[in-house]
Chains A and B, each alone.
Chain A
């Protein structure tokens, strides 16, 4: 098998020094964000815990709407689904992929949709209707920009998935705000916008970097967007 022989050949090579290098917006500019292999593993452990709490288990199908440049934020959840024995179906986050998501929703017993954004939600709404498309889905964890559309689409269990600077954040249905991995990051709101500080032993060490995102951190540690 090629997969096996190629992986065997590659196993003799040194792996890349880091899992990857990516970028996130911080108050008007792009901040470079290296992710070490150890960082990525801890992110995957957290992502796995979140997916377990979302009810993912052996055989569960999760649709992930994403872009390659967001891998540092989304792969931990995809890897979590894999570790829990579930299945991940991939869609791009561009408008023309609305039909791909519709096809998955129509053909597969999708349990959770992560990352559904406004342009795809709007396209689904205009074609088959959001409520119809998402009927049968246990959890919808859309991007913040799609919440208005999805909240108005009927009786759905809606949470949220967002990228708060370098930190992935997730709100499960019923949660009062977005959770993030507090072992890795600390978010504060002293200036009315969210600022981030590294807490974990990460390759990317930042202190009180203003992300330019309006939001508040509650006494419960959960994040709410807006002023």
Chain B
């Protein structure tokens, strides 16, 4: 049953797709000439492809004619066509730099961060983009929520305040969760974000605290960056009785969150035109298959991403969700370029993950594929182990090596390191699963 109090903006979140598409087309037809006139990267790329704004009269025209861009193209434009300071935005900027209010940036895991300039008066756009999801999780006026310790995309506390939710501004990063236990007990927060590097700490705290009781005020936690290890997800959901809402980046144009149906991550199609393209580029992917998410930001007039290849591999549907929302959903399955080829066998991090997290000493699922090159004669995996749960290091090494090589069918070398050491290699919220050394 669909109830309207479930939605912050029911008229938009459950709009008929015909209306959504008409709205997208109207926004797109304004965006294309706007960007062509102002953003040097688009002018160059579209000119090279022989495309002008008058050629784009519909979404179909747009998809057929407008070229794709990549993060590397933005970086290349920034580096080649810019004197120092002249265009740090890689040819995307459509406004006078003096009009920029705040600058967030990408995580920087694949190179120097790229910039996300924002212009605003009332509230920065990123936290506003979270608000429908927070409402769906159940946050309501009078609740409190623990804010994120990370600020590289700007401060996020405003998204709570505007929903009438009190921000609890306390250190919630790696190593700080024992202090948070008192905050949970005294202030009964309804929401907190958790990330993979926190999980071993939560496991350790569960030995000393009754987390089910402490976490009973939570209406949900959100989790981003990578999949929750299966054993950990079961512990959070079943032992601690906490509902996990996964979320991910909507191709750098915003966020895509799970709803209570937990059947895909909702894109907000009044803000983004999402395409699901075959991995060889160009054509639409098979409807139920894996494709690359390509995004066009419809409500960013500062530095819009237009037909931006996210490198995110997703499954996709535009079928109406059980929650009643009509916006498209995605299921992330990995990143382009994550594939490692061992003697002709393709290996993805998710396959290693399932094996690593299966052993009690390594159940946190902390590992890296060490890959100086994409194709190698042997799979090398660096795995974090819990020293408190490990009495026989050589034995663990032998079991892991046997499990991985046996199940994946490739020769394997395992390098064991304490979890803590591996966690320290995590960046903003995730451990790079592929590393050159």
Chain A positions near chain B (C-beta within 8 angstroms) = 1-3, 5-7, 9-10, 13-23, 30, 58-59, 61, 64, 66-72, 75, 78, 82, 85, 87-92, 94, 96-97, 99-100, 103-104, 106-109
Contact = CB atoms under 8 A, between A and B. Distances in A.
B129 A2 contact: yes
Contact of B167 (A21, A23, A106): A21
Nearest to A65: B151
In the A-B complex, the 9 residue pairs with the smallest Cβ-Cβ separation, listed nearest first, are A107-B88, A59-B98, A22-B169, A89-B103, A10-B162, A1-B299, A20-B167, A2-B271, A69-B171
Residue from B162, B165, B299 with most neighbouring chain A CB atoms (10 Å): B162
A92 B148 CA distance: 11
A103 B108 CA distance: 10
Contacts of A90: 102-105, 151-155
Contact of A88 (B98, B101, B299): B101
Contacts of A92: 149-152, 428
B112 interface: yes
B171 A67 contact: yes
Contacts of A7: 122-123, 128, 162
Contacts of A85: 98
B435 interface: no
Given A19-B161, A75-B155, A89-B115, 4 more contacts: A1-B299, A16-B141, A20-B166, A21-B187
Contacts of B120: 3
A123 to B, nearest CB: 13
A3 B125 contact: yes
B187 A67 contact: no
A3 B299 contact: yes
B209 to A, nearest CB: 18
A137 B427 CA distance: 27
B100 interface: yes
Contacts of B415: none
B113 interface: yes
B231 interface: no
Among A67, A68, A72: residue with most chain B CB under 10 A = A68
Contacts, number: 172
B146 to A, nearest CB: 9
B172 interface: yes
Nearest to A18: B166
B167 A16 contact: yes
Chain A CB within 10 Å, residue with most, of B9, B155, B164: B155
A94 B150 CA distance: 9
A108 B157 contact: no
Contact of A99 (B102, B113, B155): B113
Nearest to B301: A1
B85 A108 contact: yes
B431 to A, nearest CB: 11
Nearest to A107: B88
Contacts of B151: 64, 66-68, 90-92
A30 B9 contact: no
A196 B270 CA distance: 50
A100 B172 CA distance: 21
B179 interface: yes
B63 interface: no
B228 interface: no
B131 A68 contact: no
Interface in B296-351: 299
B77 interface: no
Interface in B95-120: 97-98, 100-105, 108, 112-113, 115, 117, 120
